[in-house]
Structures are given as structure tokens and as C-alpha cells.
Amino acid sequence: MVPRTRRSETLKRAASVDPEPARPGDETPPESKRVYPTDYYFGTREEYSDFFTQLTRMSSAALFRRGYPELMHDEFNQLHISLRSWTWSFSVTEESHLSKDDKQAIIASLKGQCVQEDWDSIKALCPPAARRSLCDVLLEAMLYQFIFVTLIDSPFWFMDGKIDPTDVDGDPQFHRRFQHLYERLRAGNGFGAAWLKSAVISESNAQNIHGGTVEEMELARCNSARRKALVMQFRDELLGRRVFQLLLRPLESEAEITRRSSGLHRILEQAVYAVIYTEGGIYGNSVIYRLPDLSVFNYNSDNMVGHTYHGTSSNRTPDCAPAPGGRVLIVTRPGLTYVDIESFGQLGRRPPYRLLPAKVVVEVIKKKQASTKSRPKTKTKTTSRNKSTKPSGPDLQSNSMPETSKSASTSQAASAPEVEDNTTPSEKNEPLGKLIPPLRKSFWRE
């Protein structure tokens, strides 16, 4: 911040120097010496205009933007609600139509998110709600597997690989080649690779495609149309997979089939928006936690939480709650953490930021077997019917209370001792503003 004395000298110097008079035939206007205040310094008119031009660019241009982690959480939460609603509505409820080979094919397709064991052995270790709806759980895991593998493991999935404007087809493998370059950069300079990834994603997928010139928005407009086509392609690819179809209940009417297809299309659109906003605004490298990294359940870990079918009771109900140290059977949603994040504050770099904990289905706590020893019977005390019961109710109590008791009870508050004050003398003399805890630092300013 510029000292006050320096500001005063700047103002005096600007006021004392008169602008040079315009010469005859001179086309250039005289330079203005007027100063305009901002938060930290005084500048000329041109500097003042440049200052707000930069603010406009930071608020609208994708390359200068940063995302808000709270909005990232909201986008993924909305995606999870829509995804769970869709799987609950269209997953098969009975598994009698599944052969042994079909069950093993489903489990094999979820390698990395489901233990590679027998269907019945996995089902026996799950909580009761997951056992009744195992197909629903596996369908949820399969959808999240597709989203994470397609959109996050391969962050440049939207690239077309065209070499010039006349190229129509492009290169379908270009995004994999570019990702290989990104991985090589990440191995040598994680912060530079993180900046490159987010800058390319945010600039190539700017949301406001009408906010600039034709040249500035050409890439964003092309990718906007390409994303719509890719979402339809993703939907058809999922619905065409045999293991995916095995977990869907059969539909008879065309209206139901259309509703299921359009619902899946909206889920994939939500996933694309959430991933682009997060990957393009976090300026960090993603680390995804799946089954090899989440082999056992730990209540104190921030990387995983129990599935909703485990219940939310804090008492760790047997046969429902995850067993401490129990094996993780199914990862329905992988965990997502970002590293190599640069901060705008004094520290310069942020610690790893966990965006999403993994949702897991774990083997449950087993109930303790009841002891076979007979417990001694306890004698119950009975009151005699002849005993008179005490009057109850507020009217009877107030009527039976003597006047001396009433006067004594009303004076108890006055004669009661004062509550002990535990505040120290330093806290009493401290201003109230200093006793209030400081505000939490913003995400990008830590």
C-alpha cells in the first residue's frame, strides 16, 4: 500500500504541473495529468481505464477466472441427487434373470471399484439395504465409473484434433496425445501442468460464448456444439453396453423408454458441466481414489464415507454400520482430491484440497450372539391399591400449596447466589471486536 506522504506528493505534483498548451497543427491531444483514485494508488485516466478493463476480463474471460469450491461442491451434489434418483427409478429390483456368468461379467466390468469375488459372497457381507438393492448399487458405481474415466481421467476429451478449418473429421485420438504431453509436464512441473490443464479447459469451454469477438469465441462455440454431440454419443454408448442393460429393468412403453433415455442425457450434461467448471477453475492436478487406495474402512479418514445404505446412525448399529477396519466391497463414487494448487496469497501454494470423499459399501459389524445362560428374573415391586395416590396436575398442586410456601418460592430468585463469572480481567478490558474470532480466509487467498 502506498504511504500517505507519497500520495500527497503525487497529488501536489499533479496539481502543480500545468498541461502543455496545444500547438497549431498538432493532431495529438495533450496528455491528461488528472489523477483518479482507486483502493491503493492514484493513476492517470488511461491507467484508471486499464484497471477496470482488467477487472472486466477477470470476471468474464475464462483464462483469468478461478472457480469457487462451494459451487463445485454444489454441482457435484446436484449431480449425485439426479444420478441416485435415476438409478433408483430404472434399476432392476430382482436378480433372478441374471445367470452366474452375467453376474461375474458385471463384477469384472467394475474392476477398480468392486472387489473381484463371487456375487453371493459380496452380497452376504453388505448391509441389508444394499443386499436388497445390489443392482441399484452396482448401477450407481457403473455410472460414476464412466463419468470419472471419460471426463476426469481424460481431461481433454472435448478436443477434436483438427489441423485446419477445412478438416472435418479431425483426429479422434488427439486428446490422448495431448494428455500424454500433459502427463510428462506433470512429472516434471506439477504446478505448470495444472495451470496448463485448467487454462486449456476453461478457455476452450467458455460458458459465455457471446461475450467477445468472433475470433475470441470461435473455439468455445465449436466446442459447445461438439460437447452436445459427445453427450449424445456417451448416452448411446452406455445404453448399448450389455452389462449396463443387465442392471436396467425392462420397459414396455415407448414413453418410459424415452423418459429413461432423456434422464440419462440430463445426468451426463450435468456431469459435463460440473467437471468443466471444476477442472477449468481449480488450477490443480486431480488425484482419484478408488478401490486399491481404499482397501479398508476408517472412520477417521476424510477420503471416504459410508454409502447411504449403511444408514446415518452415529451408534454404529450392528448389521448396518461399516465395520472399523472392514473391507471396502464397492466404491460407488470415487474420491477426488486436487494437488499442486497455486494460491493468490502470501503462501503461494495451497495444501491438497479434498473435493469429494469416496462413497463406499463396506462389510458390516456383526451382531453379537445372545448368551444361552438364563438370566435371573427380577422381582417387580407393586404398590398397594389401598395407598392413596398423590394429587397430580397444576391446579391441585397450586391449591394444596400453603401460602407460606408460595411466598418462599417467589423469593428464591432474589435470594439465589449470583452465577460465578469465569471471564478473566484481560477479557473484560478487551474490546468486543477483538474477542470475535477472525473471519475465515478465502480459498484463493490462503
pLDDT in tens, 200-247: 998 888 766 445 555 666 788 888 888 999 999 999 999 999 999 999
Give the least confident one: 10-19, 128-137, 227-236, 352-361.
Answer: 10-19
Residue for grid cell 491507467: 47
pTM: 0.70
d(CA 199, CA 152): 15
Other beta carbons within 10 angstroms of residue 47's beta carbon come to 13
With 90 as the cut, is the pLDDT of residue 395 above it?
Answer: no
CA distances from 165 to 152, 169, 215, 374, 426 (A): 28, 11, 13, 87, 73
Residue 420 is assigned to a structural domain of this protein:
no
d(CA 357, CA 304): 5
Number of structural domains found in the chain: 1
pLDDT in tens, 1-43: 444 444 445 444 444 444 445 455 545 555 445 544 555 555 6
Q: Strands of 335-339's sheet, edge to edge?
A: 285-289, 335-339, 353-356
Residue 121: predicted pLDDT: 92
Residue 86 is assigned to a structural domain of this protein:
yes
Q: How many CA atoms lie within 13 A of 120 on its CB side?
A: 5
Residue 91 is assigned to a structural domain of this protein:
yes
Do the beta carbons of residue 309 and residue 361 sit within 8 Å?
yes
Q: What is the 3-state secondary structure (H, E, C) of 334-387?
A: CEEEEECEECCCCCCEECCEEEECEEEEECECCCCCCCCCCCCCCCCCCCCCCC
Do the beta carbons of residue 270 and residue 75 sit within 8 Å?
yes
pLDDT in tens, 139-151: 999 999 999 999 9
Percent of the chain residues topping a pLDDT of 70: 64
d(CA 120, CA 100): 10
Percent of the chain residues topping a pLDDT of 90: 41
Give the least confident one: 152-156, 223-227, 356-360, 392-396.
Answer: 392-396
Residue 100 is assigned to a structural domain of this protein:
yes
Could you tell me the residue range of the domain that residue 230 belongs to?
68-283
Residue 356 is assigned to a structural domain of this protein:
no
Residue 87 is assigned to a structural domain of this protein:
yes
Residue 26 is assigned to a structural domain of this protein:
no
Q: Which of 15-19, 156-160, 320-324, 370-374 is the most confident on average?
A: 156-160
Residue 442: predicted pLDDT: 59
Residue 258 is assigned to a structural domain of this protein:
yes
H helices then E strands: how many in the chain? 17, 10
Residue 152: predicted pLDDT: 95
Residue 412: predicted pLDDT: 41
